[in-house]
Amino acid sequence: MKQLPEKYVRLLKLPAFVVCLGPAFVLTWKGFQGLLGANPIDVITRTTGRWTLTFLLITLSVTPLRRITGMAWLIRFRRMLGLFAFFYGSLHLVTYVWLDKFFDVHEMLHDIARRRFITAGMTAWALMLPLALTSTKGAIRRLGGKRWQKLHRLIYFSAAAGVVHFIWLVKADLRRPLTYGAVLALLLAFRILMWIRNRVTARSTAVRQAIHT
């Protein structure tokens, strides 16, 4: 695995952070310029939703990219990317709770129960919450690496719920949500292949050891 000197990783973090914040800045800037069109709340909802899914997929592509390219240092950016997915997801949720429903709890509960796309979206966000809360060094230590890793597999389910949320919400023309779905399927397929390969290697190692003893 290729390593990048620590100072470069640190140097890269700031620009990466700024780039990740870009969509939020563009949205805010457009808001101030009055460039969000006839229905600004609709644009804010869609933009934050799209970036949540995009960041989830980018986060999920870190491991495959690292394996394929051998650039081990990529892992150092994974947490930031994951937190950005949570950040945009939370903005998306705030937009719904505040700008769309105006804190009407009764109406929101009705929505969550009745409308499956809302149920899926809420699930996707709720699954990200424990991951964001346990993203600290202390949390990893308290949980222990193995358990922490197991917990953080929830991201697969969060991303899947996010794609389902998108599929269920469009009225017609599934091309856009299915594109996200296809990328997610590819990223998950990579993990399944890795898992199968690891099991085969482990078994053949065990067999070899059995022969030798």
Partner 1 sequence: MVIKKPSDIASSEITPKSTYVSRRKFITGAAATVGTALAGGFYLRNHLDSSTVHAGGAKLSGIVKSPFSTTEKPNSFQDITNYNNYYEFSTDKYEPNGLSKNFRTRPWTVAIAGLVKKPKTLDIDTILKLAPLEERIYRHRCVEGWSMVIPWVGFPLSALIKQADPLPSAKFVAFQTILAPDQMPNQRSRDVLDWPYVEGLRMDEAMHPLTILAVGLYDEVLPNVDGAPLRLVTPWKYGFKGIKAIVKISFTDSMPPTTWNKMAPDEYGFYSNVNPQKDHPRWSQAMERRIGEFRKRPTLMFNGYADQVGSLYTNLDLQKNY
Interface pick for partner 1 out of 172, 192, 210, 211 (rule CB under 8 A):
172
CA 142 – CA 147 distance, rounded (Å) = 10
Alpha-carbon torsion 150, 179, 45, 82, what sign? positive
Residues in region 93-152 near partner 1 by CB under 8 A:
94, 99, 102, 107, 110-111, 114-115, 117, 135-137, 140-141, 144-146, 148
CA dist 7 and 80 (Å) reads 17
Per CB under 8 A, does 174 bind partner 1? yes
Q: What is d(CA 89, CA 78) in angstroms, rounded to the nearest whole number?
A: 16
Minimum CB distance to partner 1 smaller for 2 or for 208: 2
Judge whether 20 and 55 are in contact, CB under 8 Å. yes
What's the DSSP call for residue 77? G
Q: What minimum distance in Å lies between the beta carbon of 86 and partner 1?
A: 9
> What tokens does 34 get?
């009055």
Identify which of residues 91 and 160 has a Cβ nearer to partner 1 in the complex. Answer: 91
The residue (of 69 and 136) whose beta carbon lies closer to partner 1 is 136
Distance of CA 39 to the CA centre of its chain: 27
What CA–CA distance (Å, rounded) separates 187 from 156?
A: 10
Binding mask 55-84 for partner 1 (x = CB under 8 A): -----------------x--xx--xx--x-
Binding site for partner 1 (CB under 8 A): 6, 10, 13-14, 17, 21, 24-25, 27-28, 31-32, 34, 36-42, 44, 72, 75-76, 79-80, 83, 87, 91, 94, 99, 102, 107, 110-111, 114-115, 117, 135-137, 140-141, 144-146, 148, 169-175
